[in-house]
């Protein structure tokens, strides 16, 4: 069981949903295979070098590697006294006493794909909010805890119960 910096044992650790991790691996494998199949003839000299055929597969493979690293190294950890978002590049944590309230909202992109977010606003306005998407495998314990956090109104910025 992992522990917080203060030595508090983690109550729950949530990973991204399995299908996102499988998709990232598939994307990495597909783009890597495409890169090899396009680069091999160019590097062997049987086909002339083409910038697009050289750069595009490399970019897609790097994107696949970044997606794989993100989905396999991102966690939301719920401690008895805090919540932490651990990603590949950062760890951000708020103790329960530092949370003013929550906001749950959705965004829709130009293709109509909806992404749901949970945002935990800190009491101290100089601290950054803890914000993450709902693509983690949250269980009923997490949602029970989340229901205890007061809702924050968007306009006034005040917590409501």
Give one DSSP letter per residue of the chain, joined into a string. --B-TTSPBEEEEEPBPHHHHHHHHHHHHHHHHHHHHHHHHHHHTSS---HHHHHHHHHHHHHHHHHHHHHHH-EEEEESSEEEEE-SS-EEEEEGGGEEEEEEEEEE-TT--EEEEEEEEESSTTSPPEEEES-B---HHHHHHHHHSPEE-TTT--EE-
CATH class of 10-15+74-160: mainly beta
Question: Which tens digits make up the pLDDT trace of 64-94?
Answer: 999 999 999 999 999 988 999 999 888 999 9
Question: Which tens digits make up the pLDDT trace of 15-65?
Answer: 999 999 999 999 999 999 999 999 999 888 888 888 888 899 999 999 999
Q: Supply the pTM of this predicted model.
A: 0.75
């Amino acid at each position: 069981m992992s522990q917080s910096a203060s030595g508090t044992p983690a109550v729950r650790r949530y990973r991204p949903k399995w299908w996102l991790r499988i998709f990232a691996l598939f994307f990495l494998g597909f783009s890597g295979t495409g890169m090899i199949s396009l680069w091999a003839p160019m590097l062997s000299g049987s086909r002339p070098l083409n910038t697009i055929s050289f750069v595009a597969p490399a970019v897609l493979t790097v994107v696949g590697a970044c997606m794989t690293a993100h989905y396999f190294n991102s966690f939301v950890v719920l401690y008895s006294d805090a919540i932490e978002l651990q990603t590949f590049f950062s760890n951000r944590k708020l103790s329960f006493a530092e949370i003013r309230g929550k906001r749950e909202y959705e965004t829709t992109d130009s293709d109509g794909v909806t992404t749901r977010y949970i945002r935990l606003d800190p009491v101290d306005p100089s601290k950054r909010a803890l914000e993450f998407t709902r693509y983690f495998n949250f269980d009923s314990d997490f949602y029970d805890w989340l229901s205890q956090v007061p809702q924050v109104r968007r306009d006034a910025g005040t917590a409501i119960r």
